[in-house]
Amino acid sequence: MRNIFCIFKRELLSFFVSPIAYFVITGFVVIAGYFFFNLLAYFNYVLNLMAANPYRGAGPMPNLNQLVIGQMFQSMMFVLILVVPLLTMRLIAEERRSGTFELLVTSPVSVGEIVLGKFLGVVFVLLLMCGLTFLLPALLLYYGNPEIGPMLTGLLGLVLFSSAFASIGMAVSSFTENQIVAGVSSLMVLLILFIIDAPAESLGGVSADVLTYLSPVRQVDDLLRGVVTSKALVYFGSLTLLGLFLSQRALDAYRWR
């Protein structure tokens, strides 16, 4: 644990000594604020429109959680496809390019501890981003009456989503020494995962079920509605472990060359 903590602290320092973390976190929160206030304005517009309609009782009232908070979380999941590669592209690739990885592996630290420490470092930054973003819908607790359960499970879904993507991004970074290649490759892999269920409806049958299950967006749907399912937890846990496993295998192969 001490070795993992040392790698974790080293990774955090590398993030916050450079302007990378500040630019990424600020940009993420600003974009989240843009989506939040635009969705809130649209929600108020719909309410005013229904209030002006004499037949407003004929349809269901708009739901604050679904129309504002859920939509904001879904929008931020797409933004994470762009943000995560910026954070993970240098995790391993830069170590290999600069030659500092050789120093790490010759120290009394295992490859597994290196991978886990670096992963926890980037996850901490993502948790900070998600926590700051959550302050926006939390404002509605004072000014409105949203359901707290779906808000918290939606935040959980965003954290699981970002953590799984971070592990995949780190795995991609483990296979190259070039940060740009790692960043672009991570972007492509994460984008494919994000849209993997697109042909599900046209395919139908077992293929549709498989593609739907493999979609991280579909796995978050229940969490955004306030339902925590074992299927979603197993999916994101498995995706995260897969990324960590691939990272360790790639670094083991590089170490023994």
**CA-to-CA distance for 53 and 146, rounded, in angstroms?**
24
Enter the tokens of residue 194.
């994000």
**82 in helix, strand or coil?**
helix
Any idea of the CA torsion for 144, 137, 240, 5, to the nearest 10 degrees?
-120
Structure confidence at residue 76 (pLDDT): 92
Instruction: Examine the pLDDT at 106 and tell me if it is beyond 80.
Output: no
Enter the tokens of residue 60.
């269901």
Q: Do 4 and 120 touch, CB atoms closer than 8 A?
A: yes
Structure confidence at residue 102 (pLDDT): 65
**Averaged pLDDT, 220-230:** 87
Extended beta strands in the chain, E state: none
What residues does each domain of the chain span?
2-255
Residue % of the chain over a pLDDT of 90: 30
**CA-to-CA distance for 25 and 196, rounded, in angstroms?**
27
Rounded to two decimals, what is the model's pTM?
0.88
The pLDDT-based confidence of 228 (bands split at 50, 70, 90) is confident
**Averaged pLDDT, 169-182:** 86
**Averaged pLDDT, 233-250:** 91
**Averaged pLDDT, 169-176:** 87
**CA-to-CA distance for 114 and 123, rounded, in angstroms?**
14
Enter the tokens of residue 44.
């108020």
Structure confidence at residue 30 (pLDDT): 94
Instruction: Examine the pLDDT at 206 and tell me if it is beyond 60.
Output: yes
Structure confidence at residue 244 (pLDDT): 92
- Looking at every residue in the chain, the average pLDDT score rounds to 84
Tens digit of each residue's pLDDT (9 = 90 or more) over 27-84: 999 999 999 999 999 888 887 877 776 555 555 666 788 888 889 999 999 999 999 9
Structure confidence at residue 257 (pLDDT): 61
The burial of 58, by beta-carbon neighbours within 10 Å (0-12 exposed, 13-18 middle, 19 or more buried), is given as exposed
**Averaged pLDDT, 216-230:** 88
Instruction: Examine the pLDDT at 253 and tell me if it is beyond 80.
Output: no
Instruction: Examine the pLDDT at 199 and tell me if it is beyond 60.
Output: yes
Instruction: Examine the pLDDT at 155 and tell me if it is beyond 70.
Output: yes
Tens digit of each residue's pLDDT (9 = 90 or more) over 107-145: 677 778 888 888 999 999 999 999 999 988 888 888 777
AA identity, residue 236: F
Of the candidates 234, 216, 237, the residue with the CA atom closest to the CA atom of residue 81: 216
